[in-house]
Structures are given as C-alpha cells and as structure tokens.
Structure 1
Amino acid sequence: MTNKQVLLQRAEEQFLKSDYDNALKIYSLLLTDYPQLKDARIGVFLSDMGLESDEDAQALFDYYQAIKDSNEDADKLIDELMQAIYATRVVIQEKLLGTLEEVALEEGIRYSDFLSLIEEKGSFKEAFEDIMFSTRVVIRSREEFIDFIKRLVEAGYREMALGYLDSLSESFGPDQEIYGLYHLVREGKQ
C-alpha cells in the first residue's frame, strides 16, 4: 500500500468516526501532494460540511463511496449536491432569521426605540421602569449591550446589570470591555 493510500484510508477512518478536524487535516495533506486526487478533494468538502452537519456529510460520503467506482463524474455530482444543500441552508437561515427578528420585535422594542423613550421621559430610570415588566428591550449589538449595562449601573440597577452580564457575556466571547463591565458593577456596589 502506498503512502497516498494509507493516508486516504486514515482520513476516511477519521471521517467515519465523525472526527472531521483530523479528517480535514489528512485530506488537506493529501491535496498538497496530490492536487488532482478526487477522493481527497471530496473528503475536504465533506469534512468541512461535517463540522456543521454530521448527518448530511455522512450521507453524502456513503453515496460517494457507492458511486465513485461506477461513475466517472461522481465528484462533480457530489459537488452539485453539496452546493444545493448549502444554497438551501442559506435560504432557510435567511427566512428563519427574518422570522426570529419579527418575533423578537413583537415581544419587545429595539434598543434605538428604547433610547428615544429615554429622551422622551427624561431619564433612563423612568423609561426603564415604564417598560421593565411589560416589554423587553431587543439588544442587537455588542455596543448596545455595553451601553445598556452602563446605564443600568448608573440608574442603580447593579444586581440586574450583573444578571445580564452573567447570562449574556459569553455571547461576546473573550471581550475585555465586556469583562470590564463587571468591574464597573463592582465599583458601583462600594
């Protein structure tokens, strides 16, 4: 068995175990040395797909294995199927995001509208107390979140600010400015 065959077999084994990261690395190594190797090219695409959807990737892999020896254009067929799957996902995601945004706005108000309410009422505290129990504020960006937390602290809602930080700070990943808000809340308690 040649080195190419050993690596291909190892990549396929990793793929079948759903270890897509390692499968992707091995397939990529194969493509470096054998850029025309159809199995490696398909393996890269399917491993990448597997990172998002195990079921779809495994099904296409099985289908490719079944037809690759009998169909010269098996790689093109798999490529077309993958493009169709990705296109369908994009359409579904766009529709779902639009629907989720509509639902969120039906249940709350945009942060920009809340800021207008603050101006109208003359203070954050008064505007917030008016909507606190009946409406939720839809925060759509990191900047809005930071501003909201700062305003909560300034208005004396430190415990509530801490609750929001604890529940949502992970959404922003390792962000020093978000973590700095904890210090702001702590300072306000002293």
Structure 2
Amino acid sequence: MGQNYKDIAIKLFKQGKFELAKMSFNIAYNRSPSDEILAFIELCDTAKDNPSDTLSLFEIYFDPAQKDNTQTILEIIELIQNANDESAIMLESQNAITYADFKNLLNDNDFKELFESILFSTKIIITHKDELFDLVNSLVDNGFSDIGLKYLESSVKMFMGDERVAMVLQKIRDKDENSLK
C-alpha cells in the first residue's frame, strides 16, 4: 500500500502539485519508511521555491540508466538548495525581496504604507505570473495604477493571451475614469 501512495505522489509531483505530493509522500513514509521517500518529501519543499528546475532534476532521477537513485535524489536536493542559497545572497546584495516575502510582510502592515516604504529602495522579485497579477491588482486597488501598469507593460510579452491582462487593464481604466469624475 505504501508503494501506492508513493506512485500517487510521484504523479502529483510531476503535475506540479507539490503540497499534495508531499502529503502523499508523508503517508507513504508512515506506511513504509525509507530514505528515498524522505528525500522526495524534501524535494517537495524545495520545489515550491524553484519548480521548473526541480521538475527537470526530478526527471533525471527516473532516468533508467541510473542505478543508485537514492544518492541521485540527495545530490539533486543539494544542488537545488545551493542554488536557493545563491539566490538569497543575490537578493540581499541587490536590495530585493521576493514577492512571497513581501506578502509575508503584509500580514503585519498596510499595503500602501509598506509599498511606499520600499518603493525607492527595494526591488520586488516576481517569480510567477500569479504573483504579478496579484501585485498589479493590489497596486491598482491601493492607488498605484501607474506603477501597476508599468509592471504589466514590462511583462506583457510573457503573458500574451492571458485573459487576466485584459481584466487588469479594464480595472485600471475604471479607476482612471472614476478619478476624473
């Protein structure tokens, strides 16, 4: 039965459903503990910060030419963690924070006050298009339509065809029309 949960978790992981995969790996581990499953659980956590690289490396693990896959998965995790550490160092040196860190700061602060306090000194690093749309919507909602539009314009090539672009642009137009009245 443990193998069943492991197989389910692997499928979920390949689909990018890392939280669900982690839960399934945990169940598999509880039923049949192994270093391999522990490594997969760690990989699920790592994938949240670096999904595309983690998925690529995950595929290497399943390469039929590999004989000792447990060692391979541990090496993969180490590579990803080293890359994440380097990214953190780079963010610090550039006075930048990830959007996830920015959102965590919002738990204790007002959006407008927080954004104004970092506006000229800190860059916000966006890693997913969902983060971009969340930030742009928050900017528009809090009176920063011009800045939201600049974020959107600088990223529009990546999001061509995404219906949320039109929705955000309409929201900005509506805000501008209301401010003229």
TM-score of the superposed pair, with normalisation by structure 1: 0.47
| Bigger RCO (CA 8 Å, 6+ sep) | 2
Greater gyration radius: 1
